[in-house]
Structure 1
């Protein structure tokens, strides 16, 4: 009996509490409805809530969320922003004790007056700040209105790529009222800095800060002064990717161009090698040019560095052409002027530490056994023909050597017997002592480099020193400028 009574009591108690909670919810909903009707029943959203002689103060805070896209060449960018507005509306004040301690109320954008905040730098065709009207406002019992909304905006961005890829960009977001002057509406920043707490990290840029400034700008065309709040977003580019993919390969190609001066003139590949380096330099310059805006206000230092390197590559091609022209000038039979030999061979040669170098195919080979002197009979005319046809001198020498040995095998060894009795007999017949006036290669001067070859070697040495010095200086100055910029922004 006692158990039955206890169960009935618990059932009655739970039923009573449930009904009481449902009645409380219904009552709370009724109070919200009454509050909503009382606040907005006679509310006119077309009139600014200026309840005193002072202008209505609207505070604004900007919280960047993400850099969606940044287009350097078009000088515009796409950003996701979190805009927070707050103002006092004297027509939206109530006593919360009269409404079951309801301290806040959420209303639609279309139900209350909202300041016509405009982003001056916006270039979006859909709207100045799209999706703004889709969000709701939160009203507190003391009449404070908080309107926060998230939007994606396209803005104009004046890019300064002077120190690319170590550049720092500044983007302005200027908010103002489109119709209300500062006498009616005063827009102020809620703090000196924006909020970066919820910013999503970007792989290309690092956000340094968001500074806020409040000013008043006169617009004579529009009836007075207007309040403006400018948020300046400061971002720094991450240079690692650009240094690894653009700068470092270009420096390597520049260093590789030094090898072109080490090629011998007889190879005929000096101009081809430097032309290839020039084409690679042009490709890198075009690669970087696609990322820069078409403006002359700021010219990137890296573009200047690439342009100077391209000019030096062109100069290296001209240098190689000059060296090749001098080297093969002996084919024309022209005689070198004395002043050219004095200035470029003797004076410049001493400065460049150039000495006459014996050519292998001009030296008589001495065979120790029997004191027989042997020299391949390669004439100067044959050398000229081999240069024109790119035929190897070694092939000519080998051919001459084979002919000479075949002669020895065919019975000319009788002369060796005569040489024992008359040592000078064979020497008179040897190629090294056959002084035929028509054989220029037997002249004692031809045992060394001829004047044109020596001049080409000296000029090539001078061009090498000049090109390497200017290229290293150009690269060194560029790296110093980039390093100083990196230290300054750090």
Structure 2
């Protein structure tokens, strides 16, 4: 308790001693403000023009300077005191406000002290946070540049009373290239400051004859795009190219429509995210919104095309007949242009005998009953056993003709073989082994023998063989029809595959060209100018120096 009391007494004595040690400043303050009226404009003559200079810093500070003739003194008369800090409420202040204010407080709310110089110069640097109206142009979002302005001017004094000028303004120009002080500016992680010009305007309004002065500070900001590129643009581009892969998915997989709908839902989620990021405006569609709309149109069109391709893929000869131009265009011409090679059907080798039906579909086992038949087969190997030896005839004995003119005895004409000519089994045909011009006598003898064999051959297995051959013929026709049916189905599937490949190339080209045309139309992508906040900010320079020193120490 005693130590606390001692500290309080020490502080009180310290302040008392400090106050008594500066009597000149107290006397100066009393002399300057004893008869000072803060409500009157500080000019010697009412017709005189008071010059007020102002500047702006992007560190929540506004600089205002003017000369007050009533606040001049001789430093020698006051112990060498050349500056004095006084409360700003005790002196005259210019009523400079932000015209395009969006907050409601047009004036500075925190009244800091003003600095008085012996020459009459008054410097006032109040901290202020201004919120102004700014028209946001989101046409090229997220590769956009925004230009906002802040218009400052006197609220009650016209141009004849208060001459408002910029701190860095010259006498021959009203334009200032760098109108905002950026020395104490902290680098933003979202925006780059490109230009900060200022211009002094003198306007005449219809209501008044006097001019009114204002200073407009323009801020040109460029958005940093890394965040939006990683989180919005790259996913959108990836999703748009997924719509191309829909046509690479086989039609028989059954997942083409599901993939299209999933991509469409993903784009809808990105649309909702974009609506939360950008300010709501109906003046223009943002660049990213255009790209999302373009991608949604592609995906929607891919759904329609996929449905059409699936319809072609599942066609059959029962429901559709393939037109000749379709077969020529999609089976012969387009596959060559799209680099699609259809496997060719394997053809039998020339040295192998042609396959016949009974080589694949053998006759029933009942044929083995013909045990008394000779093991020889008829020429052509139709799978029908030869006649028994008792039914053979000696053509040489009958007609005196050598046996080498003849082949095997023919079948009766009542038992035609599948795939053979009818006259092949006629008595005059003799199975193709006897030429009519070669041995006429042999032909006559063979015909007589065939007529004699017919009733004997039908007893007892001829009818059973007829049924067997008819069944084989039915099976052959069924297999032939089935192969033809499957061949037409495969042609439709191949047409669907050609359509898929064609639309894959079309949509791939559309995605690449559309992405380039939409994204690359942003002007900021071609602007190589460097931001000025890095050049003028002392804080940024110190930061880069520290980073450079750290990298050098690491190496």
Per-residue Cα deviation, 1:69-104 (whole angstroms, up to 9, x for no partner): xxxxxxxxxxxx210100001111112211111111
Q: Distance in 2 between matches of 1:431 and 1:206?
A: 87
- What displacement does 1:303 show? 1.9
Higher strand share: 1
Partner residue in 2 for 1:160: 137
Please tell me whether residue 142 in structure 1 is matched to residue 107 in structure 2: no
Please tell me whether residue 89 in structure 1 is matched to residue 68 in structure 2: yes
Q: Distance in 2 between matches of 1:135 and 1:227?
A: 25
Partner residue in 1 for 2:409: none
Partner residue in 1 for 2:57: 63
- What displacement does 1:486 show? 4.5
Partner residue in 2 for 1:466: 506
Higher relative contact order (CA 8 A, sep 6+): 2
* Corresponding residue to 1:44 among 37, 41, 58: 37
Please tell me whether residue 281 in structure 1 is matched to residue 267 in structure 2: yes
- What displacement does 1:22 show? 12
* Corresponding residue to 1:251 among 223, 234, 237: 237
Q: Which moved more, 1:204-213 or 1:226-235?
A: 204-213
- What displacement does 1:34 show? 2.3
Partner residue in 2 for 1:231: 217
- What displacement does 1:297 show? 3.4
- What displacement does 1:184 show? 0.8
Q: Mapping of 1:377-392 within 5 angstroms?
A: none
Q: Distance in 1 between matches of 2:128 and 2:85?
A: 20
Q: CA-atom RMSD, angstroms? A: 4.0
- What displacement does 1:23 show? 12
Please tell me whether residue 131 in structure 1 is matched to residue 125 in structure 2: no
Instruction: Give 3-state SS (helix, strand or coil) of 1:156's partner.
Output: coil
- What displacement does 1:207 show? 2.5
Change (3 A) 1:54 1:331: farther
- What displacement does 1:189 show? 0.9
Q: Which runs of 5+ in 2 are unaligned?
A: 1-13, 169-175, 385-417, 419-468, 531-555
TM-score by length of 2: 0.65
Q: Which moved more, 1:151-160 or 1:193-202?
A: 151-160
Partner residue in 2 for 1:9: none
Partner residue in 1 for 2:392: none
Change (3 A) 1:429 1:301: farther
Say whether the 8 Å CA contact 1:92–1:139 is kept in structure 2.
yes
- What displacement does 1:323 show? 0.1
Change (3 A) 1:475 1:481: same
Partner residue in 2 for 1:112: 91
Change (3 A) 1:123 1:433: same
* Corresponding residue to 1:189 among 166, 169, 177: 166
Partner residue in 1 for 2:151: 174
Q: Distance in 2 between matches of 1:231 and 1:413?
A: 110
Partner residue in 2 for 1:307: 293
- What displacement does 1:185 show? 0.9
Instruction: Give 3-state SS (helix, strand or coil) of 2:503's partner.
Output: helix
Instruction: Give 3-state SS (helix, strand or coil) of 1:170's partner.
Output: strand
TM-score by length of 1: 0.73
Q: Distance in 1 between matches of 2:274 and 2:198?
A: 34
Q: Distance in 1 between matches of 2:328 and 2:67?
A: 93
- What displacement does 1:219 show? 3.0
* Corresponding residue to 2:475 among 428, 434, 442: 434
Q: Which runs of 5+ in 1 are unaligned?
A: 1-20, 66-80, 378-403
Per-residue Cα deviation, 1:33-83 (whole angstroms, up to 9, x for no partner): 322222112111111113354421111110102xxxxxxxxxxxxxxx210
Change (3 A) 1:183 1:343: same
Per-residue Cα deviation, 1:96-142 (whole angstroms, up to 9, x for no partner): 211111111111121111000111121113x224533x211111111
